[in-house]
Structure 1
Amino acid sequence: MADKAKREHDIVVYGATGYTGRLVAEHFVREYGGRPDAPRWAMAGRNRSKLEDVRTLIGAPDHTPLIVADADDPASLDSMCESARAVITTVGPYQLYGDALVETCARVGTDYADLCGEPAWMREQIDRHHDLATASGARICFSSGFDSIPFDLGVLMLQKHAVEGFGRPAPRVRGRVRSMKGTFSGGTAASLGATMKAAAKNPKVIGLLRDPFALTPGFEGPDQPSGMVPHYEADLDKWAAPFVMAPINTKNVHRTNFLLGHPYGEDFRYDEMMLTSPGDAGRKMAEAAVELMKNPFGAKPPKPGEGPSAEERENGHYDILFVGEFPDGETLRYAVKGRYDPGYGSTSRMIAETAMALLASEAEGGVGTPGSFLGESLVRRLRDRAEMTFELEG
């Protein structure tokens, strides 16, 4: 680890010429430009000319290092990873373009953060590289954006307060999206498309997608609520509808619990849904959401590299409620809220601060989650640097 601290760059943003990668680079310019705690960061991508253009566009200093690297060129990936303490990658779908980078980071001991929401690929990387990353000290941190940080850390913080207030974790937690304004990224749409193609070729992929414990090899917990059946929740006075990101978020929440030694309990049950409204209107919206799950991006899904305007990103938001339930009827409520469009504006801030938190972390290496590697240290950074709130509700 001493040698790692002497590497040329603290953080490399790989994919900086893409839409989301550019937003990540902008975060470092905006939040850390001229500050004494600024990381030594660099921008990486396949084309130096495009990197230069983005550097100018976002107002980064002319001396900001540029690195030419390509997933099809192993030597370039080796050079990039060996120069960095941590690599942020926005180059997806990861099942198509991510294998070599994960392997390289795991081998040379470089921390890694991505925006992956592809559970079958993630399980493959766990099986292939967890031991390698553990040995090298690399922290391979998947799902470091809207999927799944607000949910992963929301459950973690609720359980912290449950233990402090009730002396025990809540064996059942409901994650409920109360409101959300924003668009899904083109990368998310492309990842879902690639996953569906992989599932059509390999039935094993379908099994992993359906299994809530797909990312906890060797552990199979209790039956989980499906989250797919619309229903009225009297305590919230709202109808609950399926939530498109639940299949990946719930798996990451269970992996955090698994990697931390089951602080939520081995009998922990968790689901995520979206809240609509009370009455018949809410019921109809919830039922319509079931059909929407079959094609969540519509006839013209966003393409990688496309995204909303600055005004649209600025006007986005999300509000997620977590309800912890205890056998004696007691409940605990915790909320995670964020400014900005969740898929771009907030996600770019989240992954940037994940990398910053990894620089300061003393967690052991392996393939993990933001919750398992970083926990409350990341919560603090997101409060301070990403305009997110984490708080108990009465």
Structure 2
Amino acid sequence: MVNPQHDPTGGAAPSEPVDIAIYGATGFVGALTARHLAEHAPPGVRIALAGRSEAKLAATRASLPGAAREWPLIVADSSDRAATDRLAAAARVVLTTVGPYAKYGRQLVESCARAGTHYADLTGEVLFVRDTIDRWHGVAESTGARIVHSCGYDSIPSDLGVWLAHRAAAADDAGGLTEVRTVATLRGGVSGGTVDSLRGHIDAVRTDRRQRRLAADPHTLSPDRAAEPTPSQPADAGWPARLDDGTWTAPFVMASHNTRIVRRSNALLGHAYGPGLRYGELQGCGTGPVGAVTAAGVTGGIGALVGAFTVPAIRPLLDRVLPSPGAGPSERTRERGWFRMDVRARTESGRSYRVTVSGPGDPGYAATAVMLGESGLALATGGSALPGRAGSLTPATAMGDVLVDRLRAAGHTYRVSPG
């Protein structure tokens, strides 16, 4: 039982645990996630909005359609252990959009792990994920909680795409995966939350040698680093390059996180993908001279941004021109956005597979809200169809087919084909 909380706006706070609580519901992506669930959650799924300000939560609730205007509200501050414990006790699944997660997320992970409450976030912060694995994986295993990081554009398309390639190869008895490369193309705005996470990551690795080593390790999220196979992994950064099909590529800003999530999935599954798996990600920039110029621009832009963040004197200028956390693009920009991940895999027997993962909407906002919302529904309603494991997991190892099916039904593409 959960003690009712006073709600002067007229809605009842939950006296029984809800199925899903959206923490950070007053932020940009949190509100988008709430709207997606208001429009797409199956009948009977009980949902609450959670955050620090009851007044702002009430305003978010009032903007939602239909019965969502009666959803209960849960007031909780991420720095208050008693509050995060109450939040975890009030829901079967907690979805959180409150980042940077290294700054605001640790306490909520602990509360969910201890309560046996499933948890999903949008983090792209590899050091935060490593820390929560070390602290709470064992606790979550013992309580049955699934702690699932990176349930947005970071890193669901990458993780599920490689998982589907593995499934296809296994069904054909084609041997383990060896060389797998994902080429990402997208149209969308820059996420303020991603920028803030990048800022925090650069600060951490600049001042702490141990953190720098962890961030550079391609297997830093492995459950047992000493047991990892030894094939070298593709570099996360580099120069513009031209693929065999004529596509020009640049470094993909999310590769350093996505690749480590995929490798953790492989390790959690006993290296079922293949002990010789080499996995890398690139950003596709088009073909011909325009593609070459675009690739050079993207490469230079990423390098300049990372370099600028290391210069304290430039920080105030960046803060003025880059989007702030909690902000987002216009509705028109979100609707015009899209993403596509082209996963190209080879196996030990020489067979090739291609997995296409794509979806409409700005990837960091509209598409991410769909991914997080459907992750919550998968965890809340998947039951015995979910993989039978708990602890600090990945989207593929926590939800597998259940999430793929939900995302397909929500309008995203997950297509597997030969070579």
TM-score bracket relative to the smaller structure: over 0.9
Q: Which residue of 2 aligns with 1:228?
A: 237
- 8 Å contact 2:174–2:351 — kept in the other structure? no
Q: In 2, Cα distance between the equivalents of 1:282 and 1:312?
A: 23
Aligned position for 1:383: 408
List, as ranges, runs of 4+ consecutive aligned residues in structure 1 with deviation greater than 4 Å. Answer: 295-299
One of 161, 174, 198 as aligned partner of 2:168:
161
1:165 to partner: Cα distance: 2.9
Distance 1:82 1:141 in 2: 18
The letter of the residue matching 1:187 is G
Tell me the residue number matched to 2:191: 185
Matching of residue 325 in structure 1 with residue 331 in structure 2: no
- Partners of 1:106 and 1:133 within 8 A in 2: yes
TM-superposed CA distance for 1:76, in Å, is 1.4
- How is 1:77-156 mapped onto 2 (pairs within 5 angstroms)? 77-156=84-163
Contact 2:387–2:397 at 8 Å: present in 1 too? Answer: no
1:278: how far off?
A: 3.1
Is contact 2:51–2:77 with CA below 8 Å preserved after alignment? yes
Between 167-176 and 19-28, the greater mean CA deviation after superposition: 167-176
The 1:301–1:333 alpha-carbon spacing in structure 2 relative to 1, beyond 3 Å, is same
- SS of 1:80's equivalent in the other structure is helix
Q: Percent identity?
A: 39
Shift of 1:233: 1.2
**Cα separation, partners in 2 of 1:141 and 1:60, compared to 1, 3 Å:** farther
Residue 53 (structure 1) aligns with: 59
TM-score scaled by structure 2? 0.87
- Residues 8, 218 of structure 1: CA spacing in aligned structure 2 closer, same or farther, 3 A cutoff? closer
Answering whether residue 338 of structure 2 is matched by residue 313 of structure 1, we say no
Counterpart in the other structure of 1:244: 253
CA distance in 2, matches of 1:267, 1:333: 18
CA distance in 2, matches of 1:60, 1:151: 34
Q: CA deviation at 1:227?
A: 4.4
Please say if residues 227 and 241 of structure 1, whose CA atoms lie closer than 8 Å, have aligned partners that are also in contact: no
- Cα deviations across residues 122-152 of structure 1 (Å, max 9, x unaligned)? 1011011110111111110000000000000
The answer to whether the 8 A contact 1:13-1:89 is kept is yes
Aligned-partner residue type, residue 403 of structure 2: L
Post-superposition offset of 1:367: 0.4
Q: CA 1:290–1:31 in 2, change beyond 3 Å: closer, same or farther?
A: same
Distance change (3 Å), C-alpha of 1:364 and 1:329: closer
For structure 2, list consecutive stretches of 5 or more residues without a partner in the other structure.
Answer: 1-14, 309-317
- Contact 2:189/2:333 (8 A) holds in 1: no
Cα distance change of structure 1 residues 60 and 211 upon mapping to structure 2, 3 Å threshold: farther
CA distance in 2, matches of 1:337, 1:390: 7
Residue identity in the other structure for 1:163: A
Q: Is the CA contact (8 Å cut-off) linking 2:387 and 2:400 kept in structure 1?
A: no
Give the aligned partner of residue 3 of structure 1.
Answer: none
Contact 1:15 1:45 in 2 (8 A): yes
Task: Identify the match of residue 277 of structure 1 among 275, 280, 286.
Answer: 286
Q: 2:313 maps to which residue?
A: none
TM-fit CA distance, 1:170: 2.2
TM-score (norm 1): 0.93
Question: What is the aligned-residue RMSD (CA, Å)?
Answer: 1.8
